[in-house]
Structure 1
Amino acid sequence: MSVGGKGLVLVSVVLTQLMIVLDMTVVAVALPSMQEDLGLTAGQRPWVMTAYTLAFGGLVLFGGRLSGVLGLRGSYRLGLTGFALASLVAGVAPSFAVLVAARVAQGVFAAVLAPTVLALVNRTFTETQERSRAFAVLGATGGLGAAVGLIVGGVLTESLDWRWTMYVNIPIALVAAVVSVSSLPSGDPRTALGRLFDDVVGLAAGCGAVFSLIYGLDRAQQDGWGAWSTVVLFVVAGVLAVGFVLRERRAAAPVLPLGMLRNASRTSSYAVMFVSTCAQMGSLVYLTYYFQEHLGYSPMATGVAFLPMVAALVVTAGVAGRLLVPRYGAKVCFPGGLAVQAVALFILSRVTVETTYGEVVLPGMVVFGAGLGLAVPVVFNAGTRGVPEGRSGLASSIISMSQQVGASFGVAVLSTYATRSVEGYIEEHAGRVEAQAAEAMARENAYPGSPEATGIVDRVIDALTQEAQIDAYGGGFALVGTIVASAAVILLAAVVVRWRYLGRSDAASGGAGVEVTGPAVRRRSL
């Protein structure tokens, strides 16, 4: 393929990747407007986001299968067309039922597009340096898509209407389709049509396990980790996952050949995507509330506040793609990127009711963006490198699945942590509230039960609640920072062990996820 053709493919897939990830968060700041316009109840509102995540994560394995059956060109066009139509329906939705159905459809077609996008880059860019640069661009897009979604959602909701958070996908899909019309690789789906029905049992078990896990994490966020619905879904996910593994060991044409997971660099890429997305999505939820409820930012100002993180991510991804990835690969970028993210989260954990945006949040976000830019682009590269062309869609779908599960896990953990932390903080400081209220009433000569006294009590309680919320954010950042730092240490230890016991040349050969094969030798390394 010519350089111009490769450039068109990259532009098209970058637009598509942005659209897919953007839709994970673009509606977050528009939810209040949706609720008011459509009359959503408190119980219905979370489903606007959950419907997309469940369909996307639960069916992404099927999307990887479909890309192999229809071919990259066929699955890409199907995904773009379906996503655009679903977005149109979501935009004109007159009711909750129509909106949620359209969001499910968006998730279904995102599950088709996500593995296809990565497989297209994997097939188009084969030379080491151009591949590293292409995945750096795509990785930066994937990393910043969630933050861009908040920015776009805020701007569109405030300047136009919440429905434009859905309509915005239509021109993106149209441009991506036009740009790629003459550059996509062709394929003959007739030769692979029979593969659609290979290992249907394994496919159903795998999709069911992911669906149950993501839904269980959603229920944990809404109802608590000990709720019967949460526990049942986790048990179902575990049973289906075990059944999936047993099935794949025996299936003649497995959905997921387990040998694909034996490559250390590839498996590490899935873990890094899970941990990074967990930290990113959980932190975005905290920061969004912090900006709007504590600092009083509008939806548009909230989006603008995230721009430094986006800028740091883009710059770091570009530098890493050109200088670090070709030379050091995954063995440095994975633990290094996670370590930088952990540092950022510990910086953010210093937030208090007195700190300002520039004191803690701004430097924390810049460092976090740099950590994402260092690690995430390498995930896409290492996660698909060395995979046979017919399995590239499958390898890509596992990356997307790790992203969806990580996002759900991060939001669930930090949301439930914040709820319990706030309750505990208020109980612990209840006596202080009474003392402050009594002192204020005495100072203002307000008698108990009077309107003035009631106003004083309300102000003291509001101040304590805000203080408890900010304290919970700080503790949550520290918690997820510990998780990310632990993952960085484990990966670094794995690199050191392989470097020491397998030799410098062997460790270096897999630096970017290369799988070296020969007539009598197969080496896999981090």
Structure 2
Amino acid sequence: MAKDGPSRRWTLPAVSAAQLLVVLDGTIVNIALPSAQRALGMSDAGRQWAITAYALAFGGLLLIGGRVSSALGHRRTFIIGLLGFAGASALGGAAGSPEMLFAARALQGVFAAGLAPAGLSLLTITFTEPRERGRAFGVFAAVGAAGSAIGLIAGGLLTEYVGWRWCLYINVPLALLAVLGATRVARDRPSRDGKGLDVPGALLSTAGFVAVVYAFNEAASLGWGSGKVLALLAAGTLLLATFVAVELRTPRPLLPMRILLHRARGGAFLAITLMFVAMFGFYLFMSYYTQTILGYSPVEAGLTLIINALATLLGSTLIAGRLHGRVSPAALILPGLLAAAAGILLLTRLTPQSTEVFGLYLVPALLLTGLGLGLVMPPTAGLATADMDWQNIGAASAAYNAGQQLGAALGTALFNTLAAGAAASYLAAHPQAAAAAGTVRGYTTALAAAAAVLLVAAIITAPLIVARRGRQRADDRKAEETTPVG
């Protein structure tokens, strides 16, 4: 459904501001955590919940948030999400105990789970003409991709010069400005397709996502062979498999399976998930390598990522945004995956003796990975919601965001474990080697794995997103005939 000119002018800034809030909060608290731990007296074992509480609530409730967005109306859900996010941020900033901070972070995740799919849905129903949709998705992707870097920079500056509490308080004025813009956005009609929520699907999806994301978070510190991690992964896999089985049989599913069975859409979900697996491994490397090996401060490490953010902006707006509708999505997604893989592979050449690291290694890698991310995000976001009936746009948007969350959690845990294991093995085999040599070997091993993930993503997704339009329509019709209508 097309929207009028004024609503288009307000929709993109409001949704972009909300996207920045959601992504930024995934990293800004990381920088502030040591200061918050000292101020609130958190234990070393418990401090991770300032990060994990947000990730679990956000990832676990995304599918429910997408369905609620369709049921209440995307604009209404968007405004409620912004107001709730602002309130939770104020509560966290004023926290007087670890428990209060953890609860506020979880509450942020709850509102973000409705805010993120509602925002993407608003873009989809507002911008319908191919060229303007390409520009809108390009800006949306650039803001989302740059959010992590901005979070690191803002977290360092605020913590150092104002105080850690402002890493949460800063969300309040940003959210209220986005609300002001959202009130000017044209109203959309809520879905009247069925009454009530798919309760079994909601419970199974939430429990499954929480178990899997929590397992990924725990694996970063306990290792993949931990009994706790393996039990969580097994439980999460079983719950999600049961969720799929239930969704195939219920008349009004939380996530209609035809959303995932569409060839091009399924390829987009897979591409963005694996892209986030690799990129969050890359961001982990940038954070640790620049600070532990090169001696950068947290602020300097964050500022280095501006190169990546600017390259993402270039790729998403000036290339992907302008080419949207003129070339096939595959012509952007596949080169994007390969460009990011090339940037990461360049860093595997690093050694403790490498010189001119910033100019010869970091800058080219940051440019290539940023350009790749900028090429991948707009077309995958467009494919994820393309040709969806308005009742199910929220569910498709939620599934797209869920893929990003799972990819980020898996990438951080997987590559942290790989780096630590490779470093330990190298030092055990070379007892005379300096600790820095083992650390660099661990980083390069993890980066090689990240590049391999991107290459595999290109190979696997190519047959899906390159599929002919006629074949895509036939597959979609077949999926609709065999899947209950949601």
TM range (shorter): over 0.9
RMSD between aligned residues? 2.2
The alpha-carbon distance between structure 1 residues 361 and 249, as it changes in their structure 2 partners (threshold 3 A), is: same
Count of aligned positions? 477
Structure 1 segment 175-214 matched on structure 2, within 5 A = 175-187=177-189, 191=192, 195-197=195-197, 199-214=198-213
Q: 1:70 aligns with which of 65, 72, 75?
A: 72
> Runs of 5+ in structure 2 lacking a partner?
482-486
Letter in 2 for 1:52: Y
Which sections of structure 1, spanning at least 5 residues, go unmatched?
Answer: 434-463, 522-526
Q: Which amino acid aligns with 2:208?
A: A
For residues 405 and 517 of structure 1, do their structure 2 counterparts lie closer, same or farther at Cα, with a shift above 3 Å needed? closer
Displacement after TM superposition at 1:250 (Å): 1.0
Kindly indicate whether the alpha-carbon contact (under 8 Å) linking 2:264 and 2:465 is maintained by their aligned counterparts in 1: no
- Find the counterpart in structure 1 of residue 420 from structure 2: 419
Paired position in structure 1 for 2:484: none
* 2:130–2:324 CA contact under 8 A, matched in 1: no
Given that 2:216 and 2:229 are in contact with CA atoms closer than 8 Å, whether structure 1 keeps it comes out as yes
- Shift of residue 489 of structure 1? 2.0
Which protein is bigger by CA-based radius of gyration? Answer: 1
Q: Is 2:455 the counterpart of 1:481?
A: no
Counterparts in 2 of 1:97-116, with a 5 A limit? 97-116=99-118
Query: Whose relative contact order is higher, 1 or 2, with alpha carbons under 8 Å and at least 6 apart?
Result: 2
Q: Deviations over 1:47-100 (max 9, x none)?
A: 111111110000001101111221112211110111000000111111111111
In the TM superposition, residue 494 of structure 1 has moved relative to its aligned partner by: 4.6
Distance 2:172 2:131 in 1: 33
Aligned to 2:301: 302
Kept in 1: contact 2:153–2:299 (CA 8 A): yes
- Could you say what secondary structure the match of 1:292 adopts? helix
Identity of aligned residues (%): 33
State the shift of 1:196 in Å.
3.3
Of 299-308 and 405-414, deviating more is: 299-308
Q: What is aligned with 2:229?
A: 230
What are the residue-to-residue correspondences of 1:153-192 with 2, within 5 Å?
A: 153-187=155-189, 191=192
1:224 positional shift: 1.2
Q: Within 5 Å, which residues of 2 pair with 1:132-147?
A: 132-147=134-149
* Aligned-partner Cα distance in 2 for 1:100–1:90: 8
The CA distance in 2 between the partners of 1:6 and 1:514, in whole Å, is 33
SS of equivalent to 2:438: helix
Amino acid at match of 1:245: V
Contact 1:386 1:515 in 2 (8 A): no
Which piece of structure 1 moves more, 348-357 or 374-383?
A: 348-357
Residue 346 of structure 1 aligns with an amino acid whose one-letter code is L
Q: What does the per-residue CA deviation read over 1:444-463, in whole Å, with 9 as the maximum and x for residues that have no partner?
A: xxxxxxxxxxxxxxxxxxxx
Structure 2 SS opposite 1:375: helix
Counterpart CA distance in 1 for 2:207 and 2:237 is 10
8 Å Cα contact 1:73-1:187 kept in structure 2: no
Deviation at 1:483, TM superposition (A): 1.1
Q: Using a 3 Å threshold, how does the CA distance of structure 1 residues 26 and 425 change in structure 2: closer, same or farther?
A: same
Residue number in structure 2 paired with 1:13: 15
Q: Flag the 1:104–1:322 CA change in 2: closer, same or farther, 3 A.
A: closer
1:491 to 441, 461, 467: 461
1:141 deviates by 1.4
Pairing of 1:47-446 with structure 2 (within 5 A): 47-187=49-189, 191=192, 195-197=195-197, 199-355=198-354, 356-430=357-431, 432=432
Asked whether the 8 Å contact 1:132–1:325 carries over to 2, the reply is yes
How many Å separate the matches in 2 of 1:273 and 1:327?
A: 21
User: In 1, distance between residues paired with 2:475 and 2:6?
Assistant: 29
